[in-house]
């Protein structure tokens, strides 16, 4: 039993609101896609099923093992690597995607900068990097004072449940407290930390490395899930990799992404890391 994959599927697998956006970006890009933080393949498999060549990168080999098993016959490769430090033998992609809040898992600004540099080194000239950021991460308010119901699944007669308990501030980051329960066993509490950063801040950080910023895109919130802002960054037409120290930022800055903070008091929604 690949328990990590079970929890990942429970906590991320049901999210479909963003899939149309990734499909559209992949169709526009018309080339190979790198899915960063691919997990068990929610987005990778959706694109590959439409004939897109996808490289699925994740730091967790157990999740990629589940993805690979599901990708039978599809144009998918898996790479176990840290997104902040990867090198794929000179390969270049027309599109790099970072779905859900994965970019908020990279350990703040230094981690994001390391990832952005790696991404630039793997983009074709004019290629696009698109990353989704949670619009809000404070989920209890007057209207929604209880968490959403747990995600549950029965596998071989055993019930698995994952319940978001609360989201609190932890030294400037959002700390998501979850309780994972396997029927008949002791519950396990896990905490996932997400950096609070806006799409505009990402655009500024990326501009300093040589990316240009396209208008942000939006994934609407639903009753169950928070909305996201997708920051869209374009590599220079003559992309030879990231600018070295001392380079002048050349990124044009546009767009009006909403920050997490600007929607703090809005409705309860699930975040899905
Ligand atoms: C919120 S999940 C998203 C999974 C998948 N992209 C989806 O949309 O369903 C975040 C994923 O990022 C991966 N991840 C977290 N930190 C990472 C890192 N530094 N490098 C590569 N992958 C990372 C996790 O293992 C996890 O699979």
Which residue minimizes the CA distance to atom 1 of ligand 1?
A: 273
Average pLDDT taken over every residue of the chain: 86
Mean pLDDT confidence for 104-131: 97
Q: Find out whether 173 and 193 touch, Cβ atoms under 8 Å.
A: yes
Mean pLDDT across 42-69: 98
Q: How high is the pLDDT of residue 145?
A: 61
Average confidence (pLDDT) over 182-189: 94
Cα(247) to centroid of ligand 1, in Å? 30
Statement: residue 2 has pLDDT above 80: yes
Nearest alpha carbon, ligand 1 atom 6? 38
Pocket test for ligand 1, best of 20, 102, 114 (most atoms within 8 A of CB): 102
pLDDT on residue 243: 57
Residues 235-252 as b or e (16 or more Cβ within 10 Å = b)? bbeebebbbeeeeeeebe
pLDDT mean over 249-264 = 23
Share of the chain above pLDDT 90, in %: 75
The full set of domain ranges for the chain reads: 3-135+197-263, 151-194
Q: Which residues, judged by CB distance below 6 Å to any ligand atom, belong to the binding site of ligand 1?
A: 12, 37-39, 42-43, 58-60, 63, 82-84, 99-102, 105-106, 273
Burial of 82 (0-12, 13-18, 19+ CB in 10 A): middle
Indicate if the pLDDT at residue 142 is higher than 70. Answer: no
Which of ligand 1's atoms lies nearest the C-alpha of 42?
Answer: 9
Mind listing the pLDDT tens digit for each residue in 211-252? 999 999 999 988 778 899 999 999 999 887 775 443 322 222
* d(C-alpha 82, C-alpha 58), whole Å: 7
Q: Which of 61-75, 133-147, 213-227 has the highest mean pLDDT?
A: 61-75
Looking at residue 139, its pLDDT comes to 55
Query: What's domain 3-135+197-263's superfamily in CATH?
Result: Vaccinia Virus protein VP39 (3.40.50.150)
Q: Is residue 184 scored above 70 in pLDDT?
A: yes
79 CA → ligand 1 middle, Å: 12
């Amino acid at each position: 039993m690949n328990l990590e994959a079970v929890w990942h599927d429970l906590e991320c697998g049901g999210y479909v609101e963003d899939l149309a956006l990734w499909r559209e970006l992949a169709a526009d890009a018309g080339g190979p896609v790198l899915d960063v933080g691919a997990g068990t393949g929610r987005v990778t498999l959706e694109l590959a099923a439409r004939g897109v060549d996808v490289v699925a990168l994740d730091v967790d080999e157990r999740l990629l093992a589940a993805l690979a098993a599901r990708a039978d016959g599809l144009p998918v490769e898996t790479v176990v690597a840290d997104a902040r430090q990867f090198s794929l033998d000179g390969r270049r992609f027309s599109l790099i995607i970072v779905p859900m809040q994965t970019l908020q898992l990279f350990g703040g600004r230094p981690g994001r900068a390391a990832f952005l540099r790696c991404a630039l080194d793997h983009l074709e000239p004019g290629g696009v990097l698109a990353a989704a950021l949670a619009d809000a991460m404070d989920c209890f308010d007057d209207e929604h004072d209880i968490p959403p119901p747990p995600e549950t699944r029965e596998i071989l007669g055993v019930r698995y449940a994952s319940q978001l308990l609360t989201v609190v501030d932890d030294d400037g980051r959002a700390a998501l407290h979850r309780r994972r329960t396997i029927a008949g066993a002791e519950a396990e509490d896990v905490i996932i930390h997400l950096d609070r950063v806006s799409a505009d801040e990402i655009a500024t950080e990326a501009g300093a490395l040589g990316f240009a910023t396209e208008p942000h895109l939006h994934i609407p919130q639903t009753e169950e899930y928070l909305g996201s802002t997708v920051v869209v960054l374009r590599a220079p037409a003559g992309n030879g990799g990231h600018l070295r120290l001392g380079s002048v930022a050349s990124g044009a800055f546009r767009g009006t992404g909403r920050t997490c903070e600007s929607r703090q008091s809005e409705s309860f929604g699930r975040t899905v890391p």
